[in-house]
């Protein structure tokens, strides 16, 4: 086994001999591409698990069956649910009902007397909802979900007790690819791009379809397919040269309910159109984009829209023309509006040289400083995409203060599934616990309960989709150099959600480290339902991926053991890398492996300020950069003082002596030594646990993961030694436990 099938492995159910009666016929009446996908996914899953292929029928039959359909178009399906029950399902949600569950509302009128035995219904408002429902059902049948259905019991399977209602919390559930057309992937750790090769699109559409299956199975429905840093060739993705290819790729994903987006080059009017400017307020530029949008949408009528990285890390943008981000985003949004397109404008904007020029400025402040003054100025088809933290996907960062501060602007939260700073898919780092902390963080933007998950789902600030009230906004930007007045629409729930940078590539197992598949799975599940716990998601993923691998008795401890490895891994990684939230300390450029001063004297604004007296960045309002003041109360006060700042973020907010005592009772220097020794030991234990599971694992899977865990254990020692030695030499303070530091 290579791991290619990931969590959709559908191993043969050894306990159940025959296909349950209700699985023998799949009834689908509607001629709809996504419903067709749903039916064939179900057919494939059932035949793999039960060794017998179900038949697909367009009409109900007189034997038990499973019906898939929408309330609007499939009368038999609709009749299984009361109008109230139907109304509880959102656009992409679903209901599943097995006849084992009596429906009091319908017990007389809706029970179809002609049908003997059990039947099951998967229903939604849309075919996408039905597709997600089918994947939910398949998770049940694989044993990946706790519930009333026991897939190992013939009896339970014959008359399943199923009554499920599930609606996605977030309307947009997106993956961003940082793939380049030469076949490389920026920050890719799992081989080459699956989309491009040698400046052309891939011809391997099967691989793309298999990817679409993985994504749809966890509810992803939006996908940008090229790097946010748009170079020369990728600029041409929106031209006749490549649009036919984009259309072919869009067709593959469309069948799985996934919309494609393209990252664009802000300077396209110059680079493609031969214009002398890309000034957003220049009528010629706006016209150029309008014509371009017409051309693009003629090729891909349901394109989601454009993703834009502008005025950051040397990318072009409106600043060159003295304009602000709203000018740039709105001009593009107007061009896309006739086609229902969106502009996803990234807030990862900072002047990479500013902190070097002036040590009083602070890269952490940049997103808030740039975008807070523009709140309310964006069109209703612009969404601002904000990284989870103010810096850049470090193992530990505070939550970006821009969330909640934007009250009249639609936002997407950006996570990074790719483990750029968290072990590059060579170290194990299950990121769901980190994402959970972000989603659960209470910003207090509108008092207690203003959590990130409510902000990014649109629950806190948006009106419902149908409301189109408009209001006036007058804005003073920067030093009051100009004022602007325009109408700006109310935020809509449909334009909120979560995006994340992909961790997949052309490696046989998709993610390099097989266990890193859990991050892709977990991201999708969390974007659907942020209330799921990291433990529940790990449990699902491990059961779907590993159950049925070894002998039955043996796999009893396989599942909890692998789950525990995942749950411990973020904390382990954090403990042997940069301490107490200070971040970085990685090799410049590729960002792998320890280099304590790697970025310390560069211009990128990522410093730890360690000297012989102390370490950390003073981001307080009283004496530092003022970053702490960007939070709402009480966080602004909590972070401002070392008395209340949480230990894990101490060095992000404060510069302290090595002898400073943490809330844990330990000094900073002793904490560094202790966590680094323990972290390296615990990394070695991950490897030992895996070795102890050998007999229960398929050999191919065992070997590939072992190779990664062995590397991690060795590399963790290097991290330990380099960090400890550095701080021992800087501080001159010995380890209380006298362990070897050189």
Report residue 601 as tokens. Answer: 């004297």
Identified catalytic residue from 32, 41, 392, 574: 392
Under rule CB under 6 A, which residues in 455-514 are in contact with ligand BDP? Answer: none
Least Å distance, CB 185 to ligand BDP, is 10
Among 10, 393, 435, 658, binds ligand BDP (CB under 6 A): 393
Active site residue 420: yes
Residue number with CB closer to ligand BDP (356 or 604): 604
Residue number with CB closer to ligand BDP (57 or 184): 184
Residue number with CB closer to ligand BDP (27 or 501): 501
Q: Where are the beta strands (DSSP E) in 482-598?
A: 482-489, 497-501
Least Å distance, CB 608 to ligand BDP, is 18
Least Å distance, CB 309 to ligand BDP, is 5
Query: What track of x and - describes contact with ligand BDP for positions 184 through 213 (by CB under 6 A)?
Result: --xx--------------------------
Please name which of 579, 561, 574 lies closest in space to residue 437, comparing C-alpha atoms: 574
Residue number with CB closer to ligand BDP (415 or 726): 415
Report residue 333 as tokens. Answer: 């949004």
Please name which of 100, 31, 102, 23 lies closest in space to residue 67, comparing C-alpha atoms: 23
Report residue 408 as tokens. Answer: 């009249």
Identified catalytic residue from 420, 507, 568, 674: 420
The DSSP result for 437-506, as a single string, is HHHH-B--BTBTT-BHHHHHTTTTTPBPTT---EEEEEEEETTTTEEEEEEEEPPBGGG-EEEEE----S
Q: At what angle do helices 283-299 and 243-254 cross, to 10 degrees?
A: 50
Whole-Å CA distances, 625 to 317, 606, 615? 26, 13, 15
Active site residue 351: no
Alpha-helix runs per DSSP H in 170-222: 205-217
Under rule CB under 6 A, which residues in 539-578 are in contact with ligand BDP? Answer: none
Least Å distance, CB 308 to ligand BDP, is 11
Among 392, 540, 568, 640, binds ligand BDP (CB under 6 A): 392
Residue number with CB closer to ligand BDP (47 or 229): 229
Distance CA 644, CA 22 (A): 59
261 part of the interface to ligand BDP, by CB under 6 A: no
Least Å distance, CB 430 to ligand BDP, is 20
Residue number with CB closer to ligand BDP (392 or 640): 392
Distance CA 524, CA 531 (A): 13
Among 173, 292, 309, 543, binds ligand BDP (CB under 6 A): 309
Residue number with CB closer to ligand BDP (392 or 735): 392
Q: Which residues pair with 416 in a beta bridge?
A: 501
In the block, residue with structure tokens 């020029």: 357
**Class of residue 165 by CB neighbours under 10 A (exposed 0-12, middle 13-18, buried 19+):** middle
- Report CA Rg, the chain: 27
Least Å distance, CB 501 to ligand BDP, is 7
Least Å distance, CB 393 to ligand BDP, is 6
In the block, residue with structure tokens 């107007």: 334
Among 279, 351, 362, 420, binds ligand BDP (CB under 6 A): 420
229 part of the interface to ligand BDP, by CB under 6 A: yes
Among 185, 228, 395, 405, binds ligand BDP (CB under 6 A): 228
Distance CA 148, CA 171 (A): 29
Least Å distance, CB 620 to ligand BDP, is 26
599 part of the interface to ligand BDP, by CB under 6 A: no
Under rule CB under 6 A, which residues in 331-390 are in contact with ligand BDP? Answer: 348
Distance CA 255, CA 264 (A): 24
Distance CA 623, CA 611 (A): 18
Q: Where are the beta strands (DSSP E) in 202-297?
A: 222-224, 259-263
Q: Find out whether 220 and 168 touch, Cβ atoms under 8 Å.
A: no
Least Å distance, CB 229 to ligand BDP, is 5
Active site residue 392: yes
Identified catalytic residue from 313, 440, 531, 552: 313
| Cα dihedral 564→570→576→578 (10° resolution) | -170
Residue number with CB closer to ligand BDP (393 or 541): 393
Residue number with CB closer to ligand BDP (228 or 651): 228
Residues annotated catalytic, as ranges: 313, 392, 420
Footprint on this chain of ligand BDP (rule: CB under 6 A): 186-187, 228-229, 309, 348, 392-393, 420
């Amino acid at each position: 086994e290579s791991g290619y099938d990931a969590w959709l492995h559908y191993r043969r159910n050894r306990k159940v001999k025959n296909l349950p009666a209700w699985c023998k016929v799949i009834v689908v009446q509607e001629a709809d591409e996504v419903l067709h996908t749903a039916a064939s996914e179900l057919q494939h899953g059932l035949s793999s698990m039960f060794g017998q292929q179900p038949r697909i029928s367009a009409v109900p039959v007189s034997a038990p069956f499973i019906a898939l359909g929408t309330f609007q178009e499939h009368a038999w399906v609709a009749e299984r649910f009361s109008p109230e029950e139907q109304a509880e399902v959102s656009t992409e949600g679903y209901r599943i009902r097995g006849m084992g569950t009596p429906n009091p509302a319908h017990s007389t009128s809706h029970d179809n007397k002609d049908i003997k035995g059990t039947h099951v219904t998967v229903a939604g408002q849309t075919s996408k909802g039905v597709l997600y429902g089918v994947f939910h059902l398949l998770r049940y049948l694989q044993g990946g979900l706790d519930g009333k259905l026991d897939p190992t019991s013939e009896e339970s399977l014959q008359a399943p007790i199923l009554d499920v209602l599930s609606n996605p919390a977030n309307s947009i559930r997106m993956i961003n690819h940082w793939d380049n057309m030469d076949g490389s992937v920026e920050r890719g750790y799992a081989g080459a791009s699956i989309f491009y090769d040698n400046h052309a699109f891939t011809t391997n559409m099967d691989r793309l379809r298999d990817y679409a299956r993985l994504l749809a199975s966890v509810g992803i429905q939006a996908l940008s397919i090229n790097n946010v840093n748009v170079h020369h060739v990728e600029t041409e993705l929106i031209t006749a040269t490549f649009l036919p290819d984009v259309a072919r790729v869009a067709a593959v994903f469309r069948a799985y309910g996934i919309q494609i987006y393209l990252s664009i080059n802000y300077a396209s009017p110059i680079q493609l159109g031969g214009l002398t400017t890309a000034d957003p307020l220049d009528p010629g530029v706006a016209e150029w984009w309008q014509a371009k949008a017409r051309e693009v949408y003629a090729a891909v009528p349901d394109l989601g829209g454009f993703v834009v990285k502008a005025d950051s890390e040397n990318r072009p943008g409106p600043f060159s023309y003295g304009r602000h981000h709203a000018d740039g985003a709105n001009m593009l949004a107007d061009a896309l509006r006739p086609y229902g397109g969106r502009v996803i404008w990234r807030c990862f904007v900072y002047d990479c040289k500013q902190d070097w020029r002036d040590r009083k400025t602070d890269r952490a402040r940049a997103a808030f400083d740039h975008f807070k003054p523009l709140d309310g100025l964006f069109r209703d088809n612009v969404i601002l995409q904000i990284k989870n933290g103010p810096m850049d996907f470090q193992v530990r960062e505070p939550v970006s203060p821009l969330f909640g501060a934007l009250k009249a602007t639609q936002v997407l939260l950006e996570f990074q599934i790719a483990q750029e700073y968290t072990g590059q898919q060579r170290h194990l780092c299950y990121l769901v616990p980190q994402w959970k902390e972000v989603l659960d963080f209470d910003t207090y933007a509108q008092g207690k309960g203003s959590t990130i998950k409510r902000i990014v789902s649109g629950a806190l600030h948006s009106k419902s989709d149908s409301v189109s009230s408009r209001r006036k906004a007058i804005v003073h930007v920067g030093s009051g150099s100009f004022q602007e007045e325009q109408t700006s629409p109310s935020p809509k729930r449909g334009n909120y959600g979560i995006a994340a940078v992909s961790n997949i590539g052309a490696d046989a197992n998709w993610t390099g480290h097989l266990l890193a598949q859990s991050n892709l799975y977990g991201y999708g599940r969390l974007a659907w339902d942020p209330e799921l716990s990291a433990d529940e998601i790990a449990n699902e993923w491990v059961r779907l991926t590993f159950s049925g691998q070894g002998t039955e008795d043996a796999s009893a401890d396989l599942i909890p053991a692998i789950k525990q490895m995942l749950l411990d891994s973020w904390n382990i990684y954090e403990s042997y890398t940069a301490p107490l939230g200070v971040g970085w300390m990685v090799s410049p450029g590729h960002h792998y492996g320890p280099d304590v001063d790697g970025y310390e004297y560069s211009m990128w604004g990522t410093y730890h300020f360690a000297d012989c007296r102390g370490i950390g960045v003073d981001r307080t309002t009283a004496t530092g950069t003022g970053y702490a003041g960007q939070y709402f109360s009480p966080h602004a006060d909590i972070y401002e003082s070392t008395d209340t700042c949480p230990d894990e973020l101490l060095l992000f907010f404060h510069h302290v002596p090595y002898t400073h005592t943490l809330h844990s009772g330990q000094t900073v220097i002793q904490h560094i030594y202790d966590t680094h020794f323990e972290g390296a030991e615990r990394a070695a234990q991950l490897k030992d646990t895996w070795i102890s599971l050998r007999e229960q694992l398929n050999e191919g899977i065992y070997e590939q993961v072992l190779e990664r865990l062995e590397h991690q254990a060795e590399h963790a020692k290097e991290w330990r030694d380099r960090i400890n030695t550095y701080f021992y030499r800087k501080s001159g303070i010995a380890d209380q436990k006298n362990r070897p530091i050189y």
